[in-house]
Amino acid sequence: MASPTQADQTPVNSPDRLDSWKEIAAYVSRSVPTVQRWEKNAHLPIHRHAHEKQGSVYAYKSELDRWYHESGAPSAQLVVSLPRNILKTFQKALSVLAIHWRTFATSAAVLSLLLAALALWMSRAAKVRWAQQTLPQIEQLGNSDSPYFASGDDSLFRAYQLAEVAEQYIPRNSRLEKLRAAISHRVDITTDPPGADLYMSSYSGRENIYGGRSPLLQARVPRGFVQWRAQKQGYETAEAILGQESNAIHLVLDRAESSPANMVRVAGGKFELELTHMGSQPSFELDDYWIDKYEVSNREFKKFVDAGGYLDRKYWKYPFIKDGHQLSFSAAMKLFVDRTGRQAPATWEAGDFPEDKGDYPVTGVSWYEAAAYAEFTGKSLPTIFHWVRAAGIFATAAISPLSNFSGKSLAARGQYRAFSAVGAYDMAGNAKEWCINATGKDRFILGGAWNEPAYMFSEPDGQPPFTRRDDFGFRLVKYDADASTSLKRPVDYPRRDFNTEKPVSHAEFNLIRGFYAYDKTPLHSVVERVDDSDEHWRKEKVSFDAAYGSERITAFLFLPRHVEVPYQTVVYFPGSSVIENASSADIEPGLGGAVVKGGRAFVIPVYKSTYERKDALNTDYPAETIFYREHVLDWYKDLARTLDYLETRSDLDSSRTAYYGFSWGARLGPLFLAVEPRLKAAVLVSGGLKFARALPEADPFNFVSHVRVPVLMVNGRYDYFFPLETSQQPLLRLLGTPTQNKRHVVLDCGHAPPSVPLAKEVLPWLDRYLGSVKKLPEPTR
């Protein structure tokens, strides 16, 4: 049975949920006492609400169905009526047996075989029928989630569980195969040493599934954030989070006697610095190392105090710099006192921590005190690179909702179940954590605190090293080989306050808008290929001349079926992953699928630097260079030439065209919308303002106030690329669009919103500002 804390993370309005003993009993066609007995004796998966009266329970249909298949208990969904011809045959056989009673012994044997065969048929037929009837539920659960959805809803994981059971009974069902491809993928899972038992669960961890013994090659696992545990007798358990983009995971198990106490191993490798707005930092390589499983506690820090750590100069390795001046050791120590003037953390009294707070993170410590304690223990403050690697910011959408960003108070270590990519607790929220690196005159302190917004988990922050706030704490690392000096170097990060920063003047804007002019030369357009195989759309590959050089632009048109022409059109600008993709040959509408099914044409140009048009640009990250500016100009010209082409098509209504940008495309969207009058409405998904600067003529910040068309913004609350308070909301506020024509929808997810809630916002928006589409009756088959 799941713990109340775990189970309560799932929304009460889940379509999979049963909210009382009565509903559970009705679902399995049994009495309440029977299902209560099954819970006690047969482990029926029942959940209990936290802090509510005894007997307040709920369950999930998918878990009950899975329990049935594992335990063999009867389920309402598996009750099946025998076909009429089978019943007649069975009745006739009984009649014959009754007449020929003299051959009873032989007939009894025949009857036994008949009954056994009948029971087997009934069981198999029932399970096939169950699997077929479960497909809509699998689809609904799969659509209610996304790989980056918040951890409170693990619908995707439950959809995977149901699909794996259903596959046993309808293995070649095309609909099921399509669903499985959408909700799961294949990965290689290995361990050192091999032969470890592997368990997986959703990040919210309501239930563990035994996956097998390592190595597992090409194992099918759910998409999204999956927690893996590897266990082997005599070894410490190893944990990790498998992310959406991972196709392999390797877990190292250490012998219990050789593992540092309360530390977890972190595998080395090559990584990106995932902190918000720091994408321009080069990738970095790390060796394996250890990190504290929990933040340093009051009780642990007390050992340093009691050992005279504040008086022993050997632990204080760094010069004391305050307000640009170096302090003496004695002068610095006078600043490191508690509420009663004793040398101790600022939150203590009389040299001791508050009663019953021994297992709480030590807070009220400066960077210098944290560094001295690290020397005392023989460990180190982590570099920001080691801290980020262990934190797993890529899983922000899963980690942050379960972390202590409560705004109420500091919590005991591990009280909140949120764990990092490697199994360390409270790296998000609770206490902020000092790191070794300097940034300007400050030192990095990462992870956010209980009294800060959740986006601070991924936000870089630097504070004066003498600061001793009551939410400042730390954890330590242990290196097998000392971290290289380059990883301990000072690191700067971009800082912008869009609430105070001013864009260029109107006169300056009119000048920089001139950069976006181009000559409308002949297109020389060609329809290169037509694909009519999809039931929802006709796919055309076209090409035409670019507005610069001798280049050609390829574009893919997805034209709706059974809709009156001319079609309204939506032009797409994708996320930056297309910079790395080598070929557009298999391009699909993706997020635009709902747009086409809704009756509009969806157009995806192949922009400069993407797919086959790859060049020297290898990142979408802004830079104050002419090289970057020229690419922004070319991206606009590719969009504009696409609009030129659409104007030549009689089957497209060029007067009703909208812009649809995702991530990279949503960030650049305000710039395009401010200079392109042919776009009548816009949808910006997972975008915002970027802290990194470009030259004024290529910075969307200088264009946003000149946008006038209706704009729908759809974002994730836990998006670490474009945080809610510092990136999304400033963009919404600065948009020049009239208030009644701009809308911001914030979903409880990370960077990529789930498709169904997204479509529910996008389609009505397009109806409102482009006009409704006229569907034609589908031809009879």
**Residues listed for the chain:** 781
Looking at the predicted structure, is the pLDDT value of residue 21 above 70?
A: yes
Looking at the predicted structure, is the pLDDT value of residue 281 above 80?
A: yes
**119: buried, middle or exposed (CB in 10 Å: 19+, 13-18, 0-12)?**
exposed
CATH superfamily, domain 508-770, is Alpha/Beta hydrolase fold, catalytic domain (3.40.50.1820)
pLDDT of 781 reads 56
Given strand 432-439, what is the order of strands in its sheet? 462-463, 442-446, 432-439, 472-473
Looking at the predicted structure, is the pLDDT value of residue 102 above 80?
A: no
What is the SS3 assignment for 16?
coil
On whether the CB atoms of residues 641 and 549 are closer than 8 A, the answer is: no
On whether the CB atoms of residues 405 and 454 are closer than 8 A, the answer is: yes
Q: What is the pLDDT of residues 29-62, one digit of tens each?
A: 677 877 887 787 677 888 876 544 445 788 888 7
For the record, the structure tokens of 139 come out as: 């689809």
- Residue 609 sits at the vertex; the CA angle it makes with 538 and 460, to the nearest 5 degrees, is 110
CA distance 152 to 483: 37
Pairing of strands 537-545, 526-531: antiparallel
Please report, as a single letter, which amino acid is at residue 176: L
Q: What is the pLDDT of residues 693-715, one digit of tens each?
A: 999 999 999 999 999 999 999 99
On whether the CB atoms of residues 364 and 410 are closer than 8 A, the answer is: no
pLDDT band (50, 70, 90) for residue 289: very high
CA distance 460 to 458: 7
587 compared with 77, residue with greater pLDDT = 587
* Termini Cα distance of the chain: 50
Looking at the predicted structure, is the pLDDT value of residue 225 above 60?
A: yes
CA distance 167 to 212: 18
Q: Where are the domains of the chain?
A: 4-145, 291-488, 508-770
**112: buried, middle or exposed (CB in 10 Å: 19+, 13-18, 0-12)?**
exposed
Q: Which CATH class is domain 291-488?
A: alpha beta
Query: Among the listed ranges 74-83, 161-170, 362-371, 577-586, which one has the minimum average pLDDT value?
Result: 74-83
The chain-wide mean pLDDT, for the chain, equals 87
pLDDT of 164 reads 87
pLDDT of 49 reads 63
Q: Rounded to whole angstroms, what are the CA distances from 85 to 89, 91, 658, 732?
A: 6, 10, 59, 66
Centroid of chain to Cα 777: 40
On whether the CB atoms of residues 195 and 208 are closer than 8 A, the answer is: no
Neighbours of 259 (CB within 10 A): 15
On whether the CB atoms of residues 420 and 227 are closer than 8 A, the answer is: no
- Residue of 217, 246, 212, 247 whose CA lies nearest to 229: 212
On whether the CB atoms of residues 684 and 669 are closer than 8 A, the answer is: yes
Looking at the predicted structure, is the pLDDT value of residue 77 above 70?
A: no
Looking at the predicted structure, is the pLDDT value of residue 191 above 70?
A: yes
Q: What is the mean pLDDT of residues 62-88?
A: 52
Pairing of strands 552-560, 601-605: antiparallel
Pairing of strands 248-252, 216-222: unpaired
212 compared with 432, residue with greater pLDDT = 432
**87: buried, middle or exposed (CB in 10 Å: 19+, 13-18, 0-12)?**
exposed
pLDDT of 637 reads 98
pLDDT of 312 reads 97
H or E element that contains 300: helix 298-306
Please report, as a single letter, which amino acid is at residue 521: T
On whether the CB atoms of residues 739 and 471 are closer than 8 A, the answer is: no
- Residue of 5, 16, 19 whose CA lies nearest to 151: 5
On whether the CB atoms of residues 638 and 645 are closer than 8 A, the answer is: no
pLDDT band (50, 70, 90) for residue 130: confident
Percentage with pLDDT > 70 across the chain:
87
Pairing of strands 263-266, 269-271: unpaired
pLDDT band (50, 70, 90) for residue 150: very low
DSSP-assigned letters across all residues of 669-694: HHHHHHH-TT--EEEEES----SS--
pLDDT of 631 reads 98
On whether the CB atoms of residues 682 and 731 are closer than 8 A, the answer is: no
Angle between helices 155-167 and 174-183 (to 10 degrees): 140
Pairing of strands 263-266, 248-252: unpaired
pLDDT of 112 reads 63
Query: Among the listed ranges 25-39, 189-203, 435-449, which one has the minimum average pLDDT value?
Result: 25-39
- Residue 15's contacts (CB-CB under 8 Å, 6 or more residues apart) are 137, 140, 141, 144
Looking at the predicted structure, is the pLDDT value of residue 97 above 60?
A: no
CA distance 195 to 424: 24
How much is the pTM? 0.74
Q: What is the mean pLDDT of residues 271-277?
A: 88
Which 8-state DSSP code applies to residue 141? Answer: H
Looking at the predicted structure, is the pLDDT value of residue 111 above 70?
A: no
pLDDT of 429 reads 96
Q: What is the pLDDT of residues 328-360, one digit of tens each?
A: 999 999 999 999 999 999 999 999 999 999 999
Phi, psi of 611 (to 5 degrees): 50, -130
pLDDT band (50, 70, 90) for residue 780: low
Looking at the predicted structure, is the pLDDT value of residue 121 above 60?
A: no
pLDDT of 224 reads 77
Q: What is the mean pLDDT of residues 576-591?
A: 90
**281: buried, middle or exposed (CB in 10 Å: 19+, 13-18, 0-12)?**
middle
What is the SS3 assignment for 514?
helix
